[in-house]
C-alpha cells in the first residue's frame, strides 16, 4: 500500500503489479463491483434491459469538451472508437422502452486534464435511456439510483469503507434529504459571486464544478444549460429559447460531476439544424439521422461515470485509483 500511496501523491499510477497487488486497489475495485451490482439491482427492478453497447462505429458523440476521437480502419472505412454511446441510445429504444449499457469509452483528453484528478483517456459509463421520460423524471431516476447504490454500500460494504478510511457519515446528507437543485444560471451567479470567472454561455468548467461541489452539503443537480454548451442531440426547451433541457449531477466534497444527461431531440428538421449550428456535418451522422427521420420515441437519459462515482464512494484522491488498468491522459501504459 505504501507504493500505491506514494504514486497517488505523484499523480501517476504505479506499475500494473504494484497497483493490482495493493490492498487499497483491491478494496476500491471490490467496492466498484458491488456498486455495479446495486445499480443493476435497482435498474432491473425498474424494468430496464441491459444491452451490450458498440465499441466502434461510423460516428460517435461529438460533445466531449475538447478531447480528441480515435480513428480505426474498419475494412477500409474510417470508423471511430466510442467516446460515448450517446447516438446509439435513442435507436435502442426501438427495441425496449428502458435500456442500460455499461459502455467503454476512449477520449484523448487534453494533457492539462492530468491535473484535474478525475480524467481518464479510457473509462466506462453506466448509460441509461428511457422512452417518454422528461428532464424532471430522469433527474428523479438519477437521484433514486444514486441513493439506492449508496444505501447498499453503507449497509453491505462497511468493511471495505473502513479499509479505505472512508467515514460512512460522509453519506449522511445524501441519504437523509433530497438532492440540491440549481439552474445553470444560478450556478454561474454563485461562482461569479465567489470570484470564479465562469462563462455564462458555457458548461461549468472543471474548477467551477469543484467549487460548487465543495460548497454543497450533498449531491447537487445543475440543470438547464445554455444552447451551444452541449451536443446537438440535446433538446432545446420549447418554452425557453436557447435553454437546453439537460442536467449534471455533482457529488459533494469537491468530487464534481459524475452524471450528465437530459432530454433528446427527436425532430428530424430541428436535429439537422442543431447539428449544423454546432459546426457538424449531418451527413457524418447519416444512419442516426435516418433513424430519427423514420421516428424514435421521445426520451431522456444520462451517463454515470463508473470510475468517477467509484472514486467518490471510496474517497479516493485520483480517478485512476478506481480502475484496474489506468489510462491517464498523455501517459503510455498497459
Residue 61 confidence (pLDDT)? 86
pLDDT in tens, the chain (334 residues): 333 333 444 478 999 999 999 999 999 999 999 999 999 999 999 999 999 999 999 999 876 677 899 999 999 999 999 999 999 999 999 999 999 999 999 999 888 777 778 899 999 999 999 999 999 999 999 999 999 999 999 999 999 999 999 999 999 999 999 999 999 999 999 999 999 999 999 999 989 999 999 999 999 999 999 998 999 999 999 999 999 999 999 999 999 999 999 999 999 999 999 999 988 999 999 999 999 999 999 999 999 999 999 999 999 999 999 999 999 998 898 8
On whether residue 7 sits in a domain, the answer given is: no
Q: What one-character-per-residue DSSP string does 218-231 give?
A: S-EEEE-PBTTSS-
C-alpha cell at 227: 444552447
In the chain, what's the furthest Cα-to-Cα distance? Answer: 58
The pLDDT assigned to 67 comes to 87
In a domain, 166, yes or no: yes
- Would residue 39 count as lying in a domain? yes
For residue 72, is it within any domain?
yes
Among candidate residues 294, 256, 271, the one with its CA nearest the CA of residue 116: 256
219: in domain: yes
Domain of residue 198, residue span: 16-322
Q: What is the pLDDT of residue 112?
A: 79
For helices 184-193 and 206-215, angle between their N-to-C axes, nearest 10 degrees? 90
In a domain, 329, yes or no: no
Query: In sequence order, which ranges of 22-134 are alpha helices (DSSP H)?
Result: 23-45, 86-92
Question: Domain with 152 in it: what CATH number?
Answer: 3.30.930.10
User: H or E stretch including 303?
Assistant: strand 299-305
Q: What is the pLDDT of residue 12?
A: 85
Spatial CA neighbour of 87 closest among 291, 278, 249, 228: 291
- Which residue pairs from 64-71 have beta carbons closer than 8 angstroms and sit at least 24 positions apart in sequence? 64/107, 65/203, 66/110, 67/107, 67/108, 67/109, 67/110, 68/107, 68/108, 69/107, 69/108, 70/106, 70/108
Phi first, then psi: what are they for 96, rounded to 5°?
-140, 150
In a domain? residue 6: no
| Long-range contacts, 2-9 (Cβ 8 Å, 24+) | 4/321, 8/317, 8/318, 8/321
The pLDDT, as a whole number, for residue 117 is: 87
- Report how many domains make up the chain: 1
311/83 Cα distance (integer angstroms): 20
Which residue in the block uniquely carries the three cell numbers 454563485?
190
> Edge to edge, what strands does the sheet with 246-251 contain?
49-50, 98-106, 122-131, 299-305, 256-263, 246-251, 220-223, 180-183
pLDDT at position 8, please? 44
Amino acid at each position: 500500500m505504501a507504493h500505491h500511496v506514494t504514486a497517488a501523491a505523484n499523480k501517476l499510477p504505479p506499475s500494473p503489479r504494484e497497483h493490482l497487488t495493493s490492498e487499497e486497489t483491491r478494496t476500491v475495485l471490490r467496492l466498484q463491483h458491488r456498486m455495479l451490482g446495486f445499480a443493476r439491482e435497482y435498474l432491473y427492478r425498474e424494468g430496464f434491459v441491459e444491452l451490450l453497447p458498440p465499441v466502434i462505429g461510423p460516428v460517435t458523440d461529438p460533445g466531449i469538451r475538447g478531447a480528441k476521437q480515435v480513428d480505426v480502419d474498419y475494412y477500409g472505412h474510417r470508423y471511430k472508437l466510442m467516446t460515448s454511446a450517446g447516438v446509439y441510445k435513442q435507436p435502442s429504444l426501438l427495441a425496449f422502452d428502458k435500456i442500460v449499457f455499461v459502455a467503454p469509452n476512449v477520449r484523448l483528453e487534453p494533457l492539462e486534464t492530468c491535473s484535474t484528478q478525475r480524467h481518464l483517456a479510457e473509462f466506462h459509463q453506466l448509460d441509461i435511456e428511457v422512452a417518454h421520460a422528461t428532464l424532471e423524471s430522469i433527474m428523479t431516476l438519477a437521484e433514486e439510483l444514486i441513493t439506492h447504490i449508496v444505501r447498499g454500500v453503507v449497509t453491505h460494504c462497511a468493511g471495505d469503507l473502513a479499509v479505505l478510511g472512508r467515514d460512512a457519515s460522509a453519506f449522511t446528507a445524501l441519504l437523509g434529504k433530497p438532492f440540491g437543485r440549481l439552474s445553470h444560471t444560478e450556478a454561474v451567479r454563485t461562482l461569479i459571486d465567489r470570484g470564479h470567472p465562469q462563462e455564462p454561455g458555457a458548461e461549468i468548467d472543471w474548477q467551477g464544478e469543484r467549487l460548487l461541489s465543495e460548497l454543497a452539503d450533498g449531491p447537487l443537480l445543475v440543470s438547464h444549460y445554455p444552447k451551444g454548451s452541449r451536443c446537438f442531440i440535446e433538446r432545446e426547451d420549447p418554452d425557453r429559447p436557447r435553454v437546453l433541457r439537460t442536467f449534471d449531477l455533482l457529488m459533494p466534497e469537491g468530487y464534481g460531476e459524475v452524471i450528465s444527461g437530459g432530454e433528446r431531440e427527436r425532430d428530424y428538421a430541428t436535429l439537422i439544424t442543431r447539428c449544423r449550428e454546432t459546426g457538424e456535418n449531418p451527413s457524418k451522422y447519416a444512419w442516426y439521422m435516418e433513424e430519427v427521420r423514420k421516428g424514435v420515441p421521445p426520451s431522456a437519459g444520462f451517463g454515470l461515470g463508473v470510475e468517477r462515482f467509484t472514486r467518490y464512494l471510496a474517497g479516493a484522491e485520483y480517478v485512476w485509483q478506481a480502475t484496474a488498468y489506468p489510462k491517464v491522459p498523455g501517459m503510455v501504459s498497459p
